[in-house]
A and B are shown apart, each in its own frame.
Chain A
């Protein structure tokens, strides 16, 4: 009897564990949860920025904190489209820096920002794994059916730019996967699961040698403009515009070009 009872308790405990795990597991795909982590308080500036800006903006955030003692800068990096949706849904953001005018338009259309300024530009590059196993030298190689290619999904800026570049070259590429953001696309190259991918030049530089970048002339036809704007309902008030000014300053521009971005 005792054994039965004990066994039943184990089962109950396991069921509880299962439920707990299921709850935690289901949350990981939800883009809305990350917004909750970045609620701003007094003296806090919350910046929503495209994933490709992670390195540069973290650096600029530290510079901003040094110049404005008492202010803490927190970031929410992610796919610009997701960030735009989060802002429209009422996420407490002060500044939005997007990787495409289209995603910024989502926010300006909702009257949550006005007068966005293009602060930098990014161009695509072909990323290949170390050793370049499929010998990819130019964009036309991606159309070879033996070459496994990863692209960003068309819904996100890097995917839209990839489509533009491929159209400009008159190429039809059948990728094996359409990834949800540029970092996921790059990861597939880093792990060697694909032979090539179209990502931003800055991502190749940030990968610190794990992937190699191959330039291609058609990239010039699909350069992404990055707009930035202080949000009209910014909880941090004028500090939001001060951060935008820092990004637009000489210091901001230097940080961006150092990471592989181009001047607007």
Chain B
């Protein structure tokens, strides 16, 4: 038996035709319990709490509550702001990731550490920090207000800023990871053929790391959609303008836990549908 024909045993690890670079599922043999047991435990841990929402949901009044205009308004606002925030993150985050992965400059390690700060910062603290810089009396906000009569807090634009601040590191880290894992030889070949760095980025690098960018964008969008702390601190809470679904859920929890469950379910359902759709379309490939 020639190694190229084996589909079982060690030889089976070769990539399938048409799906280069993907981990193959052709490795046979006993599943190692050391991996399977924690994997199942991890799955249960992640799936159980959302399942709890489904179990406790007030099904008989569900439709009636869904029809409330405030719910639709909050959902629309959440989807719109999370999408715009993701676009902002893509526009700024992909070049930033490229800079960190491809250009060596003094202080690169420090920059890399600094851009992950919003990840570890409690979102409420992030919101306060945004207020101190972009607020009406903030370092930059003061100037914005004087020059343009424009202030970010308590506006829908403020929601986008808060979400982008919290979500962008997710995108930058994924894209940088993809860039570092990509084969440099393609870019080098293009460069030796006379392509400029911009052309190489546009024609070689971007298509090469497109799945990584997509995965980062999905992570970023999901994080922006669930954003609570920075949003309520920086953009406040006003129905139709800054009240996104997580804010509506939090306030509903104060008086009507059942309404909070319904709102959470709506957010959950919509995000699962969108993420599943995107996954099939982009992440798994055709």
Give A contacts to B, CB under 8 Å. 4, 7-8, 10-11, 14-15, 17-18, 21-22, 24-26, 28-29, 31, 79, 81-82, 85, 148, 150, 153, 155-156, 175-180, 184, 187-188, 191-193
In the assembled complex, the CB of B171 is this many whole angstroms from the nearest CB of chain A, namely: 11
B135 within 8 A of A: yes
Query: Complex: how many Å from CA A178 to CA B166?
Result: 22
Q: Quick one: CB contact mask for B235-272 with A, threshold 8 Å, 1 for yes?
A: 11111001100100011111101000000000000000
Contact of A11 among B119, B181, B250 (CB under 8 A): B181
Which 5 pairs between the two chains have the least Cβ-Cβ distance? A177-B236, A29-B228, A21-B119, A81-B254, A11-B177
Give the chain B neighbours of A193 by CB distance below 8 A.
131, 135-137, 153-154
B235 to A, closest residue via Cβ: A177
Q: Say whether B232 contacts A180, CB under 8 Å.
A: yes
- Given known pairs A28-B123, A79-B254, A82-B253, the reply for A10 and B180 (CB within 8 Å) is yes
B116 within 8 A of A: yes
- Given known pairs A18-B170, A191-B137, the reply for A85 and B122 (CB within 8 Å) is no
Query: Complex: how many Å from CA A247 to CA B152?
Result: 44
B164 within 8 A of A: no
Q: Say whether A148 contacts B123, CB under 8 Å.
A: no
Q: Say whether B254 contacts A17, CB under 8 Å.
A: no
Q: Pick 6 A–B contacts, CB within 8 A, sort by A.
A: A4-B181, A22-B119, A29-B228, A82-B253, A153-B251, A177-B237
Q: Say whether A192 contacts B238, CB under 8 Å.
A: no
Q: Say whether B154 contacts A176, CB under 8 Å.
A: yes
Query: Complex: how many Å from CA A191 to CA B239?
Result: 23
B200 within 8 A of A: no
Give the chain A neighbours of B93 by CB distance below 8 A.
none
Q: Say whether A178 contacts B238, CB under 8 Å.
A: yes
Query: Complex: how many Å from CA A245 to CA B231?
Result: 41
Give the chain B neighbours of A175 by CB distance below 8 A.
238
Q: Say whether A22 contacts B223, CB under 8 Å.
A: yes
Q: Say whether B253 contacts A85, CB under 8 Å.
A: yes
In the assembled complex, the CB of B176 is this many whole angstroms from the nearest CB of chain A, namely: 8
Give the chain A neighbours of B214 by CB distance below 8 A.
none
Give the chain A neighbours of B236 by CB distance below 8 A.
150, 176-179, 188
B226 within 8 A of A: yes
